[in-house]
Amino acid sequence: MPHSEPFVFNTERRLVVLTGQKARNLPELLAILKRISESSIFYHSHEEYFLSRQFARHEFYNDFSLWISEALQEEPLAEKLAAIDLLSFSSIRQIRERMVAEIAAFLESTGGRARECPAGDEFHFCRAKSFVVPTGIVARDLPDFLNRLPSVSDTSLYFHFFEARLRLGRITNDFSFWLSGIGQEALADEIDRLNPYAMTLDELRRRIIQLGLKRLGD
């Protein structure tokens, strides 16, 4: 049965937690990657995407790829890690397993040869401590949702789309989850199939609005 609960837009603020763990080469990165918290893996696989929304800064959108490219200059591996489709995983555990497998295979292919990064360029493992609060923006129904989406901040959008699915372990993004609940299963499914890693947050917002308007027009 469809419900009539409103959608409450939340946003997230964060304090970066430093783990004190650092890697100077791939074997060290691999060893830490195997044991570090899921929270740290999420942070490093998503943070650069989030920060880069302002400037077109880098070719690679995860911290591991960036570091492997810039500090170790192992481009083939950097490219492989950057190409991992995060959307195809439903848990951080799977992302970890895939990254570990890629790095291990690369090390095997090089016969264990591992470059050291220059001093001062070590990879420092971090994670985020997040504080989640309501934005005060609430949508009653689909038209209201689409009206309010333009005024929702990038951080809020990011929280409901990326964090909710992987970090909070929900089955889909928050928008799709809510839309399914109000009887908009088809739209929910279309939004769920968007690849947010292939676009900026602004494009993602526009795309959701387009899909919603199209659905309302049908």
Partner 1 sequence: MAIRLQDYEQIVGREEIAELSAFADRVRNKRLQNINSTAVGGGVAEILTRLVPLLGELGIEATWDVIKGDQAFFNITKTFHNALHGHPEEITREMLDHFQANTEANLKSLDLNGDVIVVHDPQPAGLIRKKKEIGRRWIWRCHIDVSSPNPEVWNFLRPMVDQYDASVFSMPDFARDLAVPQYMVPPSIDPLSDKNKPLSQSTVQEVLDKYELDSTRPILTQISRFDRLKDPLGVIAAYRLVKMNYDCQLLLAGGGAPDDPEGEVVLREVQEAAAGDPDIHVCLLPPFSDLEINALVRGSTVVMQKSIKEGFGLTVSEALWKKKPVVGGRVGGIKLQILNGVTGFLVHSPEGAARRTMQLLANPGLCRTMGENGHQHVKQNFLLTRHLKDYLFLMLSLDHPDEDIVQFYEN
H and E: helices and strands count for the chain = 10, 2
The values of phi and psi at residue 172, to 5°, are: -150, -175
Site for partner 1 in 123-142 (CB under 8 A): 124, 126-134
Closer Cβ to partner 1, 63 or 74, answer by number: 63
* Whole-angstrom distance, CA of residue 123 vs CA of residue 108: 21
| Residue 209: how many other CB atoms lie within 10 Å | 15
Q: Which stretch binds partner 1 (CB under 8 A): 49-57, 89-97, 191-199, 210-218?
A: 49-57
- List the one residue from 27, 28, 39, 207 that touches partner 1 (CB under 8 A): 39
To partner 1, the closest distance from the beta carbon of 94 in angstroms equals: 19
Tell me if 168 contacts partner 1 by CB under 8 A.
Answer: yes
* Whole-angstrom distance, CA of residue 209 vs CA of residue 40: 32
Closer Cβ to partner 1, 134 or 150, answer by number: 134
Tell me if 20 contacts partner 1 by CB under 8 A.
Answer: yes
Helix (H) or strand (E) holding 31: helix 26-35
Tell me if 15 contacts partner 1 by CB under 8 A.
Answer: yes
| Residue 104: how many other CB atoms lie within 10 Å | 15
| Per-residue interface string for the shown chain with partner 1, residues 54-93, x marking contact by CB under 8 A | xx-x------------------------------------
